[in-house]
């Protein structure tokens, strides 16, 4: 029979229970035992959900209080001394690494956290020493959780991160020079010990994740797979569990030689057939003679119902070649990236609700698919029929298809992507029009989102104050912001974004083609969750979205007011995208909606307009090469389409929360934005060198101070930083601004920091 399996389940619980428990524990409002008990309750609940859904292979050790990679850091005792030396309780040591600790004379910042592949989840980076040793922790978590499930009557398949991925995803600690992959030999005995213990506890199979197989890997890393898996597969059967080697988020075709060298000896191989269905045939060719294929056909990264017909076709193809005993139907990746359950969405309109499937529903989907293939379609007739009906409804719905939008897209001309004139001509027009000093100062958009703002927004959402009252409140906030900027002596003002709850949601709520959920949270990092809006259909803008506030602000200020928009790629990336049209199409539709907004802002008297694209880089495909170039080409096009509708004298800004442009500088340059503001205060100023090397002609505002900390930078510090920047940028190219928006800051430190920033800019005006 074809078995069904889930690669991992979200940890937060139905109502973000884990977030609440963690945060209560950190605030000393919940005891350690209570937190541990809550973790146990959630694990049991999640196993039960999957069991009740009919899933055959249920994962364990997919739960983590903070992050699963951090779990492995502790599991292998790869804990830097600055955390281990305080003899903290294990749980507190764990959180200290995850989020830093400043308590009872212990003061250590967290380990570095970075994006998990191209998802919006962040993992804690293993941070390794030159003389690193590894030792399996006492009562290893994967064993403990396997036994916990077993006690509850559920036999699970523990999930662990494989040794090669663990090392490859890690880095040398500061002041250390070790190349992590060279530590493999030292690490393997710990895996052998762990696998042996799992087998002793009764685990017949273990899922071992090596997701880095979807990357282009350096040869040292590629070569590490063979020795690692020769050792680990040798244990299979007698001393150790059968290994299910899992890859996801990409294809593994370019790494087949690695697979051939040792990975065909694992009991099963899992591949992502949602993102890369075309790899199926080649993967089958490369399987070992008895190796089982775990076919990831239920999307772990999105919220759409699985197209059963298509999924069954894929699984059937595999079954025809391999037989039912050698195929498992699975989620494409862990369901970590999907919300908990659709049952919580009581406010969604019934038509669209029927198109979605969250983690709990996806668990049921794998079970239905396995049944359909094992016993024939008639065994799940009702489910298949309902699914086909839902697919049909979505494909033909007016919400999905808007002929007006299609017409508009077709009418786009090549010229619509280009500004009227090149930068030098535009700059002359802008100089005359805007009359800005040298070293112009500005901010990135938001000002402190005070408690009062949140209270009033809440009251407004609940209907406790009228729209007029709320509008008055927002206007007052804007006026206050302007008065403060005037007093500080900034050159280009912003309205402060008090009316915005979130930089994507705010636009999504006003665009046709989006829907919103009430509980569809997904973990971003630690206890932080995001609730991305969902793109369901063709996007259009029924009416202006930001003109009212920006116009009011511009009319009440003596200096240029900057309009503030979120760019098409960021709107796309920070939403759940559609899976029925290519992302480039969605980006183009978003771009057209934003283009109208940009033009309307200009008409309303806003002559500096910033279109933020902080998410541009994270959309970069995981592998370099043609896929990446294709993405950059449509991403750049959509930015240009959104901004190119204005006159020469209107200045287009864009903002990025990073400054590592090396791999795709040509794309940044191709945006043709008049001014770029970028994060830079925590990065090496040398990163700016690329701007001279590439003879970048336009203007740049590298952030002069870090906005993530309440610390106020001195005027001297800012001057020093600008001086450093001037090694790489020409004086007349440079803008002076903070790293990013100021919404998370308090007013007190904001004013102090900006005042120092303005003084520093004045100093350079004198000097040059």
Q: Rank residues 344 and 485 by Cβ distance to ligand GLN and give the closer one.
A: 485
Minimum CB–partner distance for residue 752 and ligand GLN (Å): 19
The DSSP code sequence of 690-755 is HHHHTT--SEEEE-SS-SSS-PPPPHHHHHHHHHHHTTTS-GGGB-B--SS--TTS-HHHHHHHHH
Fill in the DSSP letter of residue 213.
G
Nearer to ligand GLN, 92 or 612 (CB): 612
- How many Å apart are CA 9 and CA 2, to the nearest integer? 21
Shortest Cβ distance from residue 642 to ligand GLN (Å)? Answer: 15
Selection from ligand GLN, Zn ion, none that 445 binds (CB < 5 to 8 A by kind) is: ligand GLN
Kindly give the interhelix angle for 467-488 and 747-767, rounded to the nearest 10 degrees: 40
Cα separation values, 600 from 410, 498, 541, 551, 554, Å: 22, 20, 12, 10, 14
Query: Which C-beta is closer to ligand GLN: that of 336 or that of 481?
Result: 481
* Residue, CB closest to ligand GLN: 741
Can you spell out the DSSP letters for 575-604?
A: SBPPSSS-HHHHHHHHHHHHHHHHHHHHHT
Q: Which DSSP state fits 305?
A: P
Residues between 61 and 100 with contacts to Zn ion, criterion CB under 5 A: none
For Zn ion, the closer CB: 496 or 614: 614
CB 91 within 8 A of CB 139: no
If one asks whether residue 495 binds ligand GLN (CB under 6 A), the answer comes out as no
503 binds, among ligand GLN, Zn ion, none (CB under 5 to 8 A by kind): ligand GLN
Stretch that binds ligand GLN, among 53-61, 168-176, 439-447, 721-729 (CB under 6 A): 439-447
- Provide the 10 A C-beta neighbour count for residue 60: 29
Order of strands across the sheet that contains 205-209 = 3-5, 327-331, 292-298, 268-272, 242-246, 205-209, 156-161, 58-60
Instruction: Return the sign of the alpha-carbon dihedral for residues 588, 594, 600, 604.
Output: negative
The CB-of-613 to ligand GLN minimum distance in angstroms stands at 9
Best CA proximity match to 500, nearest among 474, 534, 466? 474
* Residues touching Zn ion, count (CB under 5 A): 3
Q: How many CB atoms lie within 10 A of CB 683?
A: 16
Contacted entry of ligand GLN, Zn ion, none for residue 222, CB cut-off 5 to 8 Å set by kind? none
The CB-of-285 to Zn ion minimum distance in angstroms stands at 46
Of the two residues 740 and 761, which places its CB atom closer to ligand GLN in the complex?
740
Three-state SS for 311?
helix
Q: How far is the CB of 566 from ligand GLN (least distance, A)?
A: 8
Q: Is 561 in the site for Zn ion (CB under 5 A)?
A: no
Q: Could you say which of 68, 433, 699, 708 is catalytic?
A: 708
Site string for ligand GLN, 394-433 (x = CB under 6 A): ----------------------------------------
- Residue 136 tokens read as 């399996």
Between the alpha carbon of residue 150 and those of residues 265, 383, 641, the distances in Å are 28, 30, 57
CA–CA gap between residue 166 and residue 213 (Å, rounded): 12
Cβ proximity to ligand GLN, 369 vs 700, nearer residue: 700
CB of 479 to ligand GLN, least distance (A): 19
Stretch that binds Zn ion, among 126-134, 188-196, 725-733, 735-743 (CB under 5 A): 735-743
Confirm if 739 and 705 have CB atoms less than 8 A apart: yes
526 and 66 Cβ atoms separated by less than 8 Å? yes
Q: Does 657 bind Zn ion (CB under 5 A)?
A: yes
Q: How many whole angstroms separate alpha carbon 21 and alpha carbon 31?
A: 10
Q: Which is nearer to ligand GLN, 39 or 703 (CB)?
A: 703
Q: Which of 70, 78, 282, 63 lies closest to 183 in space, CA to CA?
A: 78
Nearer to ligand GLN, 277 or 614 (CB): 614
Least Å distance, CB 351 to ligand GLN, is 33
Among 181, 444, 641, 646, binds ligand GLN (CB under 6 A): 444
**303 vs 657 by CB, closer to ligand GLN:** 657
Residue 21 neighbours by CB under 8 Å, 6+ apart: 30, 34, 35, 38, 39
- Contacts to Zn ion from residues 604-643, by CB under 5 A: 614
Q: Which of residues 554-573 bind ligand GLN (CB under 6 A)?
A: 564
Q: Is 699 a catalytic residue?
A: no
- Is position 740 an interface residue for ligand GLN (rule: CB under 6 A)? yes
Question: Nearer Cβ to Zn ion, position 430 or 659?
Answer: 659
Report the chain's terminal Cα–Cα distance, integer Å.
78
DSSP letter string, 80-120: -HHHHTT---HHHHHHHHHH-EEETTEEEPPPPEEE-TTSS
**Does residue 740 interact with Zn ion by CB under 5 A?**
yes
Q: Which does 39 bind (CB under 5 to 8 A by kind): ligand GLN, Zn ion, none?
A: none
Q: Fill in the per-residue mask, 620 to 659: x = in contact with ligand GLN (CB under 6 A), - = not in contact.
A: -----------------------------------x-x--
> According to CB under 6 A, which residues from 654 to 713 bind ligand GLN?
655, 657
Instruction: Give the nearest distance from C-beta 568 to Zn ion in angstroms.
Output: 17
Closer of 374 and 441 to ligand GLN (Cβ): 441
The least distance separating ligand GLN from the CB of residue 503, rounded to whole angstroms, comes to 5
Angle at 11 between CA 7 and CA 16, to 5 degrees: 145
Pick from 612, 648, 672, 674 the residue near ligand GLN by CB under 6 A: 612
CA distance 143 to 140: 6
Per-residue tokens: 764: 């350079």
Question: What does 74 interact with, of Zn ion, ligand GLN, none (CB < 5 to 8 A by kind)?
Answer: none
Say whether residue 503 binds ligand GLN (CB under 6 A). Answer: yes
CB of 443 to Zn ion, least distance (A): 11
Half-sphere exposure of 671 (CA within 13 A, CB side): 33
Least distance to ligand GLN, CB of residue 9, Å: 30
Nearer to Zn ion, 132 or 566 (CB): 566
Q: Is 8 helix (H, G, I), strand (E, B) or coil?
A: coil
Residues 186-205, one symbol each (x = binds Zn ion by CB under 5 A, - = not), give --------------------
Of 137-145, 169-177, 442-450, 576-584, the window that binds ligand GLN (rule: CB under 6 A) is 442-450
CB of 497 to Zn ion, least distance (A): 12
Is residue 704 near Zn ion by the rule CB under 5 A?
no
Number of residues that bind ligand GLN (CB under 6 A): 13
> Residue 501's closest CA among 549, 543, 461?
461
Query: Rounded to whole angstroms, how far apart are CA atoms 596 and 585?
Result: 17
Site for ligand GLN, residues 330 to 389, rule: CB under 6 A = none
Q: Which residues are the active-site residues?
A: 708
Q: Which residues bind Zn ion (CB under 5 A)?
A: 614, 657, 740
Per CB under 6 A, residues contacting ligand GLN are 444-446, 497, 503, 564, 612, 614, 655, 657, 740-741, 743
């Amino acid at each position: 029979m074809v078995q069904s399996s889930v690669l991992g389940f979200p940890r937060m619980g139905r109502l973000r229970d884990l977030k609440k428990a963690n945060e209560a524990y950190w605030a000393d409002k919940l005891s350690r035992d209570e937190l541990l008990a809550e973790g146990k309750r959630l694990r049991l609940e999640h196993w039960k959900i999957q069991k009740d859904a009919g899933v055959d292979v249920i994962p364990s050790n997919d739960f983590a209080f903070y992050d699963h990679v951090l779990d492995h850091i502790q599991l292998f005792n790869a804990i830097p001394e600055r955390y281990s030396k305080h003899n903290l309780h294990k749980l507190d040591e764990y959180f200290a690494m995850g989020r830093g600790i400043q308590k009872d004379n212990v003061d250590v910042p967290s380990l570095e956290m970075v994006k998990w592949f191209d998802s919006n989840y962040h993992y804690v980076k293993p941070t390794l020493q030159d003389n690193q040793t590894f030792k399996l922790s006492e009562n290893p978590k994967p064993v403990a959780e396997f036994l916990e499930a077993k006690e509850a009557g559920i036999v699970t398949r523990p999930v662990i991160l494989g040794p090669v991925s663990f090392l490859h995803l890690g880095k040398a600690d500061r002041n250390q020079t070790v190349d992590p992959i060279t530590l493999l030999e030292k690490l393997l005995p710990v895996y052998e010990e762990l696998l042996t213990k799992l087998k002793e506890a009764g685990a017949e199979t273990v899922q071992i994740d090596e997701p880095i197989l979807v990357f282009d890997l350096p040869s040292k890393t590629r070569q590490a797979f063979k020795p690692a898996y020769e050792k680990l597969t040798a244990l299979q059967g007698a001393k150790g569990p059968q290994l299910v080697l899992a890859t996801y988020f990409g294809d593994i075709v370019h790494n087949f030689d690695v697979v051939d060298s040792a990975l065909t000896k694992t009991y099963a191989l899992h591949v992502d057939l949602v993102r890369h269905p075309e790899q199926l045939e080649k993967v089958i060719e490369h399987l070992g003679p008895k190796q089982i294929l775990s076919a990831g056909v239920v999307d772990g990264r999105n919220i759409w119902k699985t197209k059963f017909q298509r999924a069954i076709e894929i699984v059937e193809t595999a079954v025809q070649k391999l037989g039912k005993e050698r195929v498992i139907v699975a989620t494409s990746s862990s369901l970590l990236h999907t919300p908990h359950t659709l049952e919580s969405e009581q406010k969604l309109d019934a038509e669209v609700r029927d198109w979605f499937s969250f983690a709990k529903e996806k668990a049921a989907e794998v079970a239905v698919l396995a049944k359909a293939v094992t016993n024939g379609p008639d065994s799940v007739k009702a489910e298949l029929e309902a699914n086909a009906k839902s697919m049909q409804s979505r494909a033909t719905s007016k919400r999905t298809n808007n002929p007006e939008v299609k017409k508009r897209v077709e009418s786009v001309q090549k010229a619509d992507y280009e500004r009227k004139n090149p930068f030098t001509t535009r700059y002359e027009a802008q100089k005359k029009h805007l009359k800005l000093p040298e070293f112009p100062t500005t901010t990135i958009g938001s000002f402190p989102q005070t408690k009062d703002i949140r209270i009033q927004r809440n009251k407004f959402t609940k209907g406790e104050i009228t729209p007029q009252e709320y509008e008055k409140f927002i206007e007052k906030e804007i006026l206050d912001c302007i008065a403060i900027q005037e007093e500080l002596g900034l050159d280009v003002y912003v309205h402060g974004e008090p009316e915005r709850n979130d930089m994507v949601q705010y636009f999504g709520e006003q665009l046709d083609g989006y829907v919103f959920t009430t509980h569809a949270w997904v973990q971003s990092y630690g206890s932080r969750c995001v609730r991305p809006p969902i793109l369901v259909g063709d996007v259009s803008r029924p009416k202006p979205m930001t003109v009212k506030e920006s116009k009011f602000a511009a009319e009440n200020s003596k200096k240029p007011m900057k309009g503030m928009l979120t760019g098409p790629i960021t709107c796309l990336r920070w939403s759940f995208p559609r899976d029925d049209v290519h992302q480039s199409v969605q980006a183009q539709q978003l771009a057209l909606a934003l283009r109208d907004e940009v033009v309307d802002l200009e008409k309303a008297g806003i002559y500096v307009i910033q279109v933020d694209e902080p998410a541009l880089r994270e959309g970069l495909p995981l592998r370099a090469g043609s896929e990446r170039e294709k993405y950059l080409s449509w991403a750049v096009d959509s930015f240009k389409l959104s901004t190119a509708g204005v006159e020469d004298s209107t200045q287009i800004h864009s903002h990025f929360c990073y400054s590592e442009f090396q791999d795709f500088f040509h794309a940044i340059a191709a945006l043709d934005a008049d001014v770029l503001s970028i994060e830079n205060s925590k990065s090496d100023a040398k990163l700016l060198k690329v701007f001279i090397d590439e003879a970048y002609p336009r203007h740049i505002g590298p952030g002069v101070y870090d906005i993530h900390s309440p610390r106020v930078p001195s005027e001297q510090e800012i001057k020093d930083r600008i001086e450093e920047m001037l090694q790489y940028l020409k004086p007349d190219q440079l803008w002076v601004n903070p790293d990013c928006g100021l919404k998370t800051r308090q007013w007190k430190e904001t004013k102090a920091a900006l005042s120092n920033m303005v003084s520093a800019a004045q100093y350079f005006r004198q000097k040059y």
